[in-house]
Amino acid sequence: MIFLEEWHALSATVLCPLCATGGHCGLSQNSIFCESSNEEHSVTELQPFVFIRHGETDWNQAGLFQGRSDVPLNETGRKQARAASRLLVSLAISRVMVSPLRRALETATLAFPTNSNLIEVEDDLIECDFGSLDGKPIKDTMLEHGITRKEQLADILPVDAEAWASVLTRCKALLDRLATLQEVGSAIVLVGHDAVLQGISETLTGCWFDSRHGEPYYFRKCPVGWEVVGCDEFDKDDYSAE
């Protein structure tokens, strides 16, 4: 299943494969977690971290599949990245790991203008490759295939696209590496794309959630496993730059 960064016209339904087997998802305006998370959905050594979805592009605004196409931010996307900078100004960070695509790199540069020395490219953060769907309208594709839910897009991806299982493998490898790089008292920030954001959320919580361009999300441990919260829920006492 897949949660595409370009598709923002659908409802914000939370989907959890675990709930079908008796799990229970909790969702508030600022938090998402899965109470049935278990060892398969946890990384024991991993500490809390931040993920910023890149700012908007013209292709996002037009509702097109974007994938590996290297489209820059539009002006709205640049404003979103600068807004993220203001939200994170008090956050102590040790690394900013970024997708190699231009829209993510520009988001990171605008979000951390005084910390460019901490920005490094991370290939595992690159967006899912949608193959020959790139550049095509998402709504039209869904209508053509008779699907109504965004996770169903995984079932109609062309043979030249990246499989969702491959995205999850990248996410798990990234989280394992993150656990070895983290430092006490400072956070690692990831800047990338929604498919990877949802892959990380699936890996840690078992759930997906509706995300917004340029928005920072905080992954942290909770009594039932992991949860994703908005930036207003950051543990500033643990990661304060002041």
Active-site residues, by number, are 54, 127
Buried/exposed 125-147: b ≥16 CB within 10 Å, e otherwise: bbbbbbeebbeeebeebbeeeee
Determine whether 239 is exposed, middle or buried from the number of CB atoms within 10 Å of its CB (0-12, 13-18, 19+).
buried
Edge-to-edge, what's the strand order for the sheet holding 49-53?
Answer: 25-27, 31-34, 225-230, 216-222, 49-53, 187-192, 93-98, 119-121
